[in-house]
Amino acid sequence: MAKFKQNGSHEYVVQAEDLGKDLQMGQVTVHALRKASFTVKKGEMLSIIGPSGSGKSTLLGLIGGLDSPTRGRVVIDGVDITQLDERALTRIRNEKIGFVFQFFNLVPTLTALENVALPVQFARNRQFNPARRAAELLTMLELQDRLHHRPNQLSGGEQQRVAIARALANNPPLLMCDEPTGNLDTVSGALVLDALREINRTTQTTMIIVTHDLNVAAQTDRVIALVDGQIAREIDPTSTAEMAAVRSFQEHAGDPALVR
């Protein structure tokens, strides 16, 4: 797989500045995200943790250009995406960002190979031959013996690895995952995370992973904790004391989804 340029590109793949999103529900304004500022450097693997409803998916959607902010701005690989019209935004999304969701979202009638080849065909990316690119990525994710299986012929963990290959199909500088292990058992989840770590290491793809699972967060380079629509703090994942404090806080805060 082609390596990304180490030099000459933007130091920050993501810059979020005072980002906020309000939603109007009748008379009530919901502050889905109050205010969030942070940067992610090229090649970093960042996780975002926080209780249910703290704004994690909202934040991911804003950074990925799936949703527009009420305030603040998002710069992706040097481009301020909050200034773009829908057409330009779609293009940036296709070229610069890969998405992985909790429920795989594969096309059920297509094989693994066809699912991964689809975005390459769609982007008319001359850099890659769709089938060859798909086979290469699926091999990297150790699915070389599953190329012609359809989603219902694959395990959950395998489907998620197909979804990761699909998200990487056009070689985006940024991969965003919303609860990538949320629907998997511990062993499959660990395999998926190993795959993400390995891809991050070998390709320098910048990754943002939203997770409930502190064991997932502990394996990323940086951890941001969201509470009530704001970044409460950044936690050092290499500090067992800090991670233990977060685990204890979560247990006492009574969010069972956070304790696995």
Q: Give 15 or 57: the residue with its C-beta nearer to Mg ion.
A: 57
Binding site for ligand ATP (CB under 6 A): 23, 25, 30, 32, 50, 52-58
Q: Give 159 or 211: the residue with its C-beta nearer to Mg ion.
A: 211
Coil vs helix vs strand at 134: helix
User: What minimum distance in Å lies between the beta carbon of 180 and ligand ATP?
Assistant: 13
Q: Rounded CA gap, 178 and 232, in Å? A: 19
Q: Answer with the entry of ligand ATP, Mg ion, none that 88 interacts with (C-beta below 5 to 8 A by kind).
A: none
CA 253 to chain centre: 26
CB-based contact 16:213 (threshold 8 Å): no
Q: Which residue's C-beta sits nearest to Mg ion?
A: 57
Closest listed residue to residue 93, CA positions, set 203, 12, 174, 179: 174
How far CA 219 is from CA of 68, 174, 187, in Å, comes to 30, 18, 15
User: What minimum distance in Å lies between the beta carbon of 95 and ligand ATP?
Assistant: 25
Which span sits near Mg ion by CB under 5 A: 8-16, 32-40, 51-59, 250-258? 51-59
CB-based contact 175:183 (threshold 8 Å): no
| Residue 181 contacts Mg ion per CB under 5 A | no
Taking each helix axis from N to C end, the angle separating 86-96 and 112-123, rounded to the nearest 10 degrees, works out to 130
User: What minimum distance in Å lies between the beta carbon of 256 and ligand ATP?
Assistant: 12
Q: Answer with the entry of Mg ion, ligand ATP, none that 205 interacts with (C-beta below 5 to 8 A by kind).
A: none
| Residue 203 contacts Mg ion per CB under 5 A | no
CA 46, 147, 101, 59 dihedral sign is positive
| Residue 47 contacts Mg ion per CB under 5 A | no
The single residue among 15, 47, 54, 57 that binds Mg ion, judged by CB under 5 A, is 57
How is residue 89 written in tokens?
């935004």
Q: Rounded CA gap, 234 and 242, in Å? A: 10
Q: Give 88 or 253: the residue with its C-beta nearer to Mg ion.
A: 253
Q: Rounded CA gap, 82 and 101, in Å? A: 23
| Residue 219 contacts Mg ion per CB under 5 A | no
How is residue 43 written in tokens?
């090649």
User: What minimum distance in Å lies between the beta carbon of 121 and ligand ATP?
Assistant: 31
Q: Give 77 or 178: the residue with its C-beta nearer to ligand ATP.
A: 178
Q: Give 52 or 144: the residue with its C-beta nearer to ligand ATP.
A: 52
CB-based contact 81:65 (threshold 8 Å): yes
User: What minimum distance in Å lies between the beta carbon of 149 and ligand ATP?
Assistant: 29
Q: Give 58 or 171: the residue with its C-beta nearer to ligand ATP.
A: 58
DSSP strand pairing (206-210 vs 45-49): parallel
Residues at the site binding Mg ion, with contacts judged by CB under 5 A: 57
